[in-house]
Amino acid sequence: MNKITDIQAIAFDLDGTLVDSLPGLSLAIQRMLTDLSLPTVSAEQVKNWIGNGVDIMIKRTFNCVGAPDSLFEQAKLLFNRHYDQVINDGTKVFPNVISTLEILKKNNYPMALVTNKPAQFLPALLKELKLDSYFSLILGGGDVVKLKPHPTPLYQVMATFGLYHDQLLFIGDSKNDISAAKNAQCLTVGLTYGYNYGESIATSEPDYIFDHFEQILTLLPCPKAEPKK
């Protein structure tokens, strides 16, 4: 595979790309529903609702269980409380993520994190997962006026790093990620192991598709190291 020599920085999605957050998200949703005396849902159902931020995930849950909209604000407060309690134990870094980020860091690629997860959860979570040292820019829900699939977060990355659109590579697992990058005219990598609402990432037509995170190194000139197995 030919190397992409014009890329000057890399931006990443979080849930389903760098970390498996399903256990914590599903547990918080289930506890929220219990508190509201509503029917529960399975982790597999929650998996298909991840990607557009907490508000949309709760609304999708409400649609599934037939909950009235009048309970939404209470539900959001309950979810945030429960998720804050389980987020560390319920979120795990995917294989080879840290070793690959370390290689990119050693090769002086500026890196950004662009996620729809509420920004309030990010500092403690990234520190707990030992991911906090890799990103010079972190954008979560509430940090930008529009969430993915809108290109605004990626415009902010390009402005912060002083890049043209063809100098930024965006890596994600869902159609929201690919659409945001395409709307910003950035190159895209779609990862097959994420959530993406139960759909194949191939349907979003990213520029590159990989089954394993460390395969992104095949695109970039990274002479200083090879990823650990």
Identified catalytic residue from 6, 13, 15, 166: 13
Which amino acid does the sequence have at 223? P
Whether residue 13 lies in the annotated active site: yes
**What is the set of active-site residues?**
13
